[in-house]
Structure 1
Amino acid sequence: MLINKKKRIKYLGFDDFWFIIIGILILSFITDYLFSNSFVRHPFGKAIISWSVSLFFSTCDWFIIRSIMIFLRKRLPSFKDNSKRIFLFFIAIVSTVFLVDFFGNIILSFILGLNYNPLSRAKILLPIILISTMTMAIYEAIYFYIRLKKSIREEEQAKQMIVQTQLDTLRNQAQPHFFFNTLNTLRDIIDQNSKEDAKEFVDKLSDVYRFILESGNANLISLRDELKFAKSYIHIQSERFGNNLKVNWDIPKVSLNAMIVPMSLQLLLENAIKHNVISRSKPLVILVATKNNFLIVTNEIQPKSTQIPSTKLGLKNIEKRYTLISSKPIEIKNDGNQFIVSLPLLELSDQKNKYAGINH
């Protein structure tokens, strides 16, 4: 464990090589000072020999306690086991200090002929226990911090995956919705128009789906690209409604680089077409404009005599995607005469922090 750096980092949270060297030296000098104060009472040579005994005891204490600490971390790795593990660890520290001192001094007594008095030494060992506990507390603090940071990171990654799954679901939900409506339009064209008109419609439809495939993994795209898609969609709908459907575009160039949720504009246009009368006597006029960092889609309310039940799938889809990606919500107004939806124009920096790194 001392040699293998990867294992040290795995079980301790950091590479403790130099912490061990410096810690043992400090502990040995403190031990020597408490027991014999060798460098004050003895000549330098004898003091080194006396200090080396303290160094031996400190080294034994350190590595035995450290090994027990790693063992307990392997056996009780969970946060819920912290109290139990720390209690057992403290008992291990106390026991190790007493046992190392007891057996070490028996060996020294046998070699040097000294008398070992466990009761008198027990009082002196208390500071050693305290210092050892404080030293190991540094290990525990670092270990707790590393595990807490890892736990937070894993929790954020889990939330991020959930958000990604939700967005993927919403994105995939929007595409079949569009596909269903365009197939209905194609059916009407086949019934009412020539084959050439149907072929042209299919060509335009393939252009639209090329856009969907190319932007399918993006959570935000430029307003410029969304407008190209929306205009292709309107061109397709014009095959069905002719001049009865009019869209006025009032988008300054300065706004084209702003970001928007993919297919959001198209879904709003589709929503307007679906729920309003479009005829020669009542043409549907839709205004698409920008104002105060919003893309605003406005249409006159011309309810159909036979109203199609609304699932509000399109609006819910857009609202949820904006909620997941940004803190800026969409705005919906219905005054009985006009239906107005305002989509926030975003920048990449407007994405929520937990989601900013996974735009693609």
Structure 2
Amino acid sequence: MIVTAIADGLVTWYFFFAAWAAFYLAVGYVGEVRVAEREAAASRAEAREARLAMLRLQVDPHFLFNALNALSSLVARGETKPARAMIGDLAAFLRAGLSADVSEDIPLGDEIELQRLYLAIEKARFGSRLDVEWDIPDALCGVPVPALILQPLVENAVKYGVARTSTPVRLRIAAQRHGEDDIILSVEDNGAASGNLPVPASGLGIGLTNVRSRLAARYGDVSSLSSAATASGWRSSVTIPARG
């Protein structure tokens, strides 16, 4: 009887300690899994931030050179007033552009203001050859968009639609609702109307590739980029969720 009771007690304690050990190991395993998941998420976030930072640096270096050349020409001709205005626009654009964090969103109105500064600089360079039309509803100005997401599209329009012709070209920059959940931001030029041939999408350089990469990193598959010839020129647009 005593031996049986002792044996039964040992069995009971055995199962108790076995259950406790299993519980302890399970808790430890879950903790390790959660730590691993957090570390993996942190690594993915760091990789994403590094990639976005790299993409941010891949801007057209010719813009600054061309702007400085245009400024030098204004000064050489004694056109001090437009030269001062261009210096102010260039300083404001570089200050805002270099401080922009491409991993963050900014209001569409701020993004448009950056593009206004950029095109004011290009207007000083091209004069009457560049005309800009804006169609940005006030109701959309508060919608968050990735900082500088329009910059490569506008740069391409100037580079391929304006710089390659000596006749006037109109750029149209627009924003519009698309259904209930999205907005479309577009940049369109009529460069082909002056005799320019449309440029194949593969020839538009690294800018559009960067835009695609940024959209994928920010929104996944719920955003899109299109870029194609139109009857009179070229149109590039991004479709993104309107989360404002």
Same fold (TM over 0.5): yes
What is the Cα-based RMSD across aligned positions, in Å? 3.0
C-alpha distance after superposition, 1:174-217 (max 9, x if no partner):
3xx2x531322321442465241434322210011121244246
Partner of 1:184: 66
What is the CA–CA distance in structure 1 between the aligned matches of 2:164 and 2:62, rounded to whole Å?
Answer: 22
Output one character per residue of 1:227-251: Cα deviation in whole Å (capped at 9) or x when no partner: 1111111111111111221111111
Name the one with the larger helix percent: 1
Q: So what's the TM-score if we normalise by structure 1?
A: 0.56
> Is residue 2:225 matched to residue 1:331?
yes
- Structure 1 residues 136 and 281, CA gap change in structure 2 (3 angstroms): closer
Alignment-mate amino acid for residue 194 of structure 1: R
Distance 1:126 1:326, change over 3 A: same
Structure 1 residues 249, 168: CA separation in 2 closer, same or farther (over 3 Å shift)? same
- The CA distance in 2 between the partners of 1:301 and 1:206, in whole Å, is 29
Matched pairs, number = 230
Corresponding position: 1:194 with 2:96 = no
Unaligned runs of 5+ in 1: 1-34, 37-116, 350-360
Match of residue 223, structure 1, among 94, 108, 129 = 108
Of the two structures, which has the highest relative contact order with CA contacts closer than 8 Å and spacing of 6 or more?
2
TM-aligned CA deviation for residue 326 of structure 1:
1.1
TM-score, normalization by structure 2: 0.81
Q: Deviations over 1:41-83 (max 9, x none)?
A: xxxxxxxxxxxxxxxxxxxxxxxxxxxxxxxxxxxxxxxxxxx
Classify 1:281/1:123 alpha carbon distance in 2 versus 1 (closer, same or farther; 3 Å): closer
| Residues 15-63 of structure 1: CA deviation (Å, up to 9, x unaligned) | xxxxxxxxxxxxxxxxxxxx86xxxxxxxxxxxxxxxxxxxxxxxxxxx
SS in 2 for 1:326: helix
Amino acid corresponding to residue 114 of structure 2 in structure 1? F
What is the DSSP-based 3-state SS (H/G/I as helix, E as strand, rest coil) of the residue aligned with 2:139?
Answer: helix
Q: Percent identity?
A: 22
2:124 is aligned with 1:239: yes
Q: 1:286 — aligned with what?
A: 171
For the 8 Å contact 2:224–2:240, the answer to whether it is kept is no
Instruction: Specify whether residues 120 and 278 from structure 1 end up closer, same or farther in structure 2 by C-alpha distance, changes over 3 A only.
Output: closer
Gaps of 5+ in 2: none
CA drift at 1:333? 3.6
Runs of 4+ in 1 over 6 A off after TM superposition: none
Which whole-Å deviations, capped at 9, do the CAs of 1:77-100 have from their partners, x for residues lacking one?
Answer: xxxxxxxxxxxxxxxxxxxxxxxx
1:167 aligns with 2:57: no
Point out the structure with max Rg over C-alpha.
Answer: 1
Mapped contact 1:297–1:342 kept (Cα < 8 A): yes
SS at match of 1:264: coil
Residue pairs, 1:1-360, within 5 angstroms: 125-174=10-59, 177=60, 179-191=61-73, 194-195=77-78, 196=80, 197-216=82-101, 219-277=104-162, 282-291=167-176, 292=178, 293-302=183-192, 310=203, 312-327=205-220, 328-335=222-229, 337=231, 338-346=233-241
Partner of 2:104, secondary structure, is coil
In the alignment, the residues of structure 2 paired with residue 310 and residue 186 of structure 1 have an alpha-carbon distance, to the nearest angstrom, of: 26
Distance 1:271 1:335, change over 3 A: closer
